């Protein structure tokens, strides 16, 4: 995704398409089974915190997928997962 300034061969960021796929799977009834593992993966290096919110991905997306909405929702899910991890609560 050449429009994203955080994505590239020398950078660790997974990119907005991967984050949107995580959101799609987390919201699907059968995909929610591994939701916690996917959230932990995007909470690591190269994940959601590496997004610089340039929003170029939204402008160039040929499918008009609301990528910033997906990334925002994943941010909330990641925060909730972090709190669950800190306080020992499972999903």
pLDDT exceeds 80 at position 90: no
The pTM is what? 0.85
Q: How far is CA 50 from CA 20, 27, 34, 43, 62, in A?
A: 14, 22, 22, 10, 23
The radius of gyration computed from the CA coordinates of the chain, to the nearest angstrom, equals: 13
* pLDDT score, position 1: 56
**4-18 confidence digits (pLDDT tens):** 899 888 899 999 999
**17-65 confidence digits (pLDDT tens):** 999 999 999 999 998 899 999 999 999 999 999 998 888 988 898 888 8
Tell me whether residue 11 is in a domain. no
Tell me whether residue 57 is in a domain. yes
**Is-contact 19 10, C-beta < 8 A?**
no
Q: How far is CA 61 from CA 49, 51, 77, in A?
A: 21, 16, 23
Domain hosting 79: range is 16-87
Distance CA 75, CA 39 (A): 9
Tell me whether residue 77 is in a domain. yes
Tell me whether residue 32 is in a domain. yes
Tell me whether residue 4 is in a domain. no
**Is-contact 9 25, C-beta < 8 A?**
no
Local confidence band at 74 (pLDDT 50, 70, 90 cut-offs) = very high
Tell me whether residue 71 is in a domain. yes
Q: Which two tokens stand for residue 74?
A: 């994943």
């Amino acid at each position: 995704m050449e429009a994203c300034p955080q994505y590239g061969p020398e950078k660790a960021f997974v990119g907005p398409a991967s984050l949107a796929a995580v959101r799609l799977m987390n919201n699907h009834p059968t995909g929610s089974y591994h939701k916690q593992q996917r959230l932990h993966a995007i909470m690591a290096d190269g994940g959601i915190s590496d997004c610089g919110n340039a929003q170029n991905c939204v402008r160039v997306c040929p499918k008009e997928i609301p990528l910033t909405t997906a990334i925002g929702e994943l941010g909330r899910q990641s925060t909730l997962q972090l709190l669950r991890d800190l306080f020992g609560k499972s999903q």
